[in-house]
Amino acid sequence: MATLRALLPRVRAPLRAWPGCPALRSLASSAHFEHIVVAKKGKSSNVGLIQLNRPKALNALCKGLILELNQALQAFEEDPAVGAIVLTGGEKAFAAGADIKEMQNQTFQDCYSGGFLSHWDHLSRVRKPVIAAVNGYALGGGCELAMMCDIIYAGEKAQFGQPEILLGTIPGTGGTQRLTRAVGKSLTMEMVLTGDRISAQEAKQAGLVSKIFPVETLVEEAIQCAEKIASYSKIVTAMAKESVNAGRPEGRHDRVRGEEEGQLQRPVGTGCLCLHTPTHRRRM
């Protein structure tokens, strides 16, 4: 995590509910999560809220966080009272990328035989509508996680990027494919090939983001949208989501698989497998 901490502001305070976002309640008394906070929201408790909760690591996506996220998503998917889900992070970062410390010593053989990244895209298969409420950094895997959601709301200071090229690798969980469909070929090429970030305003103009809100009201706005969606027929909303997604290009999964394999190739002369955080090659 040394490069991440050197380049992005440190988050010293523990993650908390900011103004406009009511205090979070656990999904169930028996649910004990280390890396996320889960609650039900809305007047009818029909909105599932998942908050990534690794503030000191800027919500870096470690294996434990992803597994807990998948468990929470599955619980909400099976809960008949929940009609929509909101996924958010903290004020400083939605998710700044994959966890460097966890990934840096893995070899290509370890990852390939172990099904590396195979559990990262469960979010894209959830049938209930999911809204990403993005404050701060959404970089690499964090940007890809947001793009797996159906709607993206952004805080005014949000930043999106796919900086993997700076580390001699490529996006690994569908970033190139989803970003192309969202913003078009030219901007995708620029972001992927330069590693440059775009602001919330640029993301909205390009079509990646639906709406922009003040940082302190973002999550509550996302919950209100989710509550509205959850008030409709769950079967119809699932059908509507499936119908929109049916327009995706044929063979996407094959291309995403190729993307994953490309990312697993360790860059020559580096000691890192794949890092989703913005840095420079000389640091590796």
275 or 82: whose pLDDT is higher? 82
Query: Is the separation of the CB atoms in 38 and 27 below 8 Å?
Result: yes
Report residue 118 as tokens: 């195979």
Number of domains in the chain: 1
The string of pLDDT tens digits covering residues 83-129 is 999 999 999 999 998 766 656 565 545 554 554 555 778 999 999 99
Residue 32, pLDDT score: 82
Q: Is residue 77 part of a domain?
A: yes
Q: Among the listed ranges 89-103, 137-151, 222-236, which one has the minimum average pLDDT value? A: 89-103
Q: Is residue 277 part of a domain?
A: no
Query: How many other CB atoms are found less than 10 A from the CB of residue 268?
Result: 6
Over residues 6-25, mean pLDDT: 41
Over residues 235-261, mean pLDDT: 71
**What's 204's domain CATH number?**
3.90.226.10
Residue 167, pLDDT score: 83
pLDDT beyond 60 at 259: no
244 burial (CB, 10 Å; 0-12 / 13-18 / 19+) is: exposed
Q: Which residues have a Cβ under 8 Å from the Cβ of 259 and sit 6 or more positions away?
A: 170, 171, 172, 173, 174, 175, 176, 177
Domain of 84, in residue numbers: 34-104+113-246
Report pTM. 0.78
Residue 153 is inside which H or E element, if any?
A: strand 151-155
The string of pLDDT tens digits covering residues 164-199 is 999 888 998 888 999 999 999 999 999 999 999 999
Distances (CA, A) of 249 to 162, 178, 181, 190, 246: 21, 10, 9, 21, 8
Residue 180, pLDDT score: 96
Beta strands per DSSP E along 156-249: 159-161, 198-199, 211-213
Q: Is residue 5 part of a domain?
A: no
Q: Is residue 273 part of a domain?
A: no
Distance, CA of 66 to CA of 75 (rounded, Å): 14
Q: Is residue 174 part of a domain?
A: yes
Residue 134, pLDDT score: 98
Q: Is residue 13 part of a domain?
A: no
Q: Among the listed ranges 29-38, 92-101, 128-137, 257-266, which one has the minimum average pLDDT value? A: 257-266
Q: Is residue 230 part of a domain?
A: yes
Q: Is residue 212 part of a domain?
A: yes
Q: Which residues are catalytic?
A: 98, 141, 144, 164
